[in-house]
Amino acid sequence: MINTNNFHLPQPEQLKNVLGMLFGNSTEARDTGVLDPSDGDVFTATYVDDDDQLVATCSCDTAFAAYAGASLSMLPVCGAREMVETNDFFPAVLENLNEIMNIVSTTFMCDKSAHLRLSKVYRPSELPGTMSQAVAGSVHKKGILVDVPGYGSGAITLVTF
């Protein structure tokens, strides 16, 4: 699906292929409900175009943040689960999440789209209200559940404007 800005709303198969390069071939992705970025347990990456205008977001729950970030550093599963339970993340996991969100940026672009780039990854409850309202108002949303091999499942929501 291409919106009026020509940015692509990624589908589960595309996300599976991109994240599979990071987490391994047994990575799975399937449709799920969309996340509310104003929720206290949701990280949100914002993406801007060359004019620094917000054009897309990728929100993820704490489970995806912990499992995906821990997977890249090969941290123990028990440590990742503890981060989900306590909402207390190791700095390396947050750095890894930032890199993952940067890689996710490629899934929004296609042959006909302009360039976009990662602007910032907001921790839970830090997303400015105006951005949260923009996400809520967008009709271009896709919720995807991602299975991070060896760790567990977490949800992400992709939005284009």
Helix axes 12-23, 91-104, angle to 10 degrees: 140
Q: What is the reported pLDDT for 5?
A: 59
Residues 23-34: tens digit of each pLDDT: 999 999 999 999
Neighbour-count burial of 95, counting CB atoms closer than 10 A to its CB (0-12 exposed, 13-18 middle, 19+ buried): middle
Beta strands 54-61 and 28-32, pairing class: unpaired
| 61: Cα separation from own chain's centroid | 9
Q: What's the pLDDT band for 154 if we cut at 50, 70, 90? A: very high
Helix (H, G, I), strand (E, B) or coil at 110: coil
Phi, psi of 8 (to 5 degrees): -85, 135
| pLDDT, averaged across the chain | 94
pTM of the model: 0.94
Residues 58-75: tens digit of each pLDDT: 999 999 999 999 999 999
